[in-house]
Amino acid sequence: MYKMKKIDKYILTKYITTFIFCLILFTAIVVVVDISEKTDDFVKSGLPTSKIITDYYFGFIPRIDAMLFPLFIFISVIFFTSKMAGNSEIISILSSGVSFRRFLLPYVIGGLLFSILLWIGYQFVVPEANKKWANFEKNYVDVNIGFLQQNNIYKQNIYFRIDSNTYAGIKGYDTVSKSGSNISVEKIVDNKMVYNLRATNFHWDTTYRVWQLTNVVERIFDEKNEKLVLSNSKIVNYSFKPIDLRQDDYLKDQMSTKDLNAYIKLEKMRGSEMLNTFLLERYNRDAIPFSVLILTIIGAILASRKVRGGSGFHLALGVVISMLYILFSRFSVVFATKGNFTPLLAAWTPNILFGFLTIYLYKLAPK
């Protein structure tokens, strides 16, 4: 049974305290930069400072911290490990008979703890924070950008599949009022149309959670005849809801993992073009936390060797590796959303590549 020793507590304490320091420092820098960029938007919103803090920064800070969490971890590990190497502490530890593998054990424990923490955050905390951030962005920032941002509110020419045999088309839909115009629904069985519905207008009944259609024309086909039904209004309970018609840039970020899984299942059935984007978001919620462990081990191996230049050299090398990791991640996202790259592979490719790099660096490390 593993029993934590003084050296383990020593390294873990340095790991945690250095990370907290880096997190606070870099968060403060990011917030200051963000304030300078959005000062005009805050003034135009007319909101008091307390409201901006609670409605925007209570969402923005968890979002940006989760996004930069692996980078903060990497810099923290390199910083305190390099200091230990510079003070000859690591040489003393290894000279006392501790193997390099045993030396890395507290790093692995710390990396696992922070990976689990980030994983929990991505499942529950970050989606809630994204709701605050996204609502503020849509209401007070995007409206100042210009006419092009209106497509986030008013959707045009939406086509999707309701179930395995039924297809829908919508000419226009307002995501704020949850109403639209010119909806058509067609049911096709054995390559033959058996039902067609057209309505001039429709809106979402928030009380009964159903769709209310007006000026409805229904055509029902059998092998020989066609039945025509005209209605001033009609209540229908389709499987799609207002959230399914939004499909804006913020939707995937705001869903809890449970809701995202359900939404992905629905989008698969519909054959949505946005499916890869949602799949990539889902897989990233597992892949990004795992990168914390990989970057922790890489940072420990790189910074454990005493070199000329000390912490400065190690930090510079860490920044280069961090940029490479981010670059690989961005390429994977582009290939998955714009090309034929599998979303699962796209999410895990950076971890796989840097996993091999970890093994290579470990073999080169002084034992």
pLDDT for 150 equals 46
Residues recorded for the chain: 367
pLDDT for 149 equals 46
Q: Which domains does the chain have, with CATH numbers?
A: 6-144+275-364 (no CATH), 163-238 (2.30.30)
Give the separation between CA 263 and CA 246, rounded to whole angstroms.
12
| pLDDT tens, residue order, the chain (367 aa) | 556 788 899 999 999 999 999 999 999 999 999 999 989 888 888 889 999 999 999 999 999 999 999 989 999 999 899 889 888 888 888 888 888 999 999 999 999 999 999 999 999 999 999 989 988 887 787 655 544 444 457 788 888 888 878 889 999 898 878 899 999 999 998 888 999 999 999 999 988 889 999 999 999 998 778 889 999 999 999 888 887 777 666 778 888 899 899 888 888 877 777 788 889 999 999 999 999 999 999 999 988 887 665 566 666 777 788 778 878 887 777 777 777 788 999 899 999 999 999 998 888 876 6
Beta strands of the chain (E only): which ranges? Answer: 154-161, 166-174, 179-189, 192-205, 210-221, 226-236
Tokens read off for 120: 């929990």
pLDDT for 148 equals 43
- C-beta separation of 22 from 30 below 8 A: no
pLDDT for 310 equals 58
H and E: helices and strands count for the chain: 11, 6
Give phi and psi for 177, each to the nearest 5: -80, -10
**Residue for token pair 């005849």:** 225
Separation of CA 259 from chain center? 14
- C-beta separation of 68 from 117 below 8 A: no
Q: At what angle do helices 6-45 and 100-120 cross, to 10 degrees?
A: 30
Tokens read off for 108: 């692995």
pLDDT for 302 equals 87
Give the separation between CA 337 and CA 331, rounded to whole angstroms.
10
- C-beta separation of 162 from 168 below 8 A: yes
Give the separation between CA 311 and CA 86, rounded to whole angstroms.
8
Residues with Cβ within 8 Å of residue 272, at least 6 apart in sequence: 160
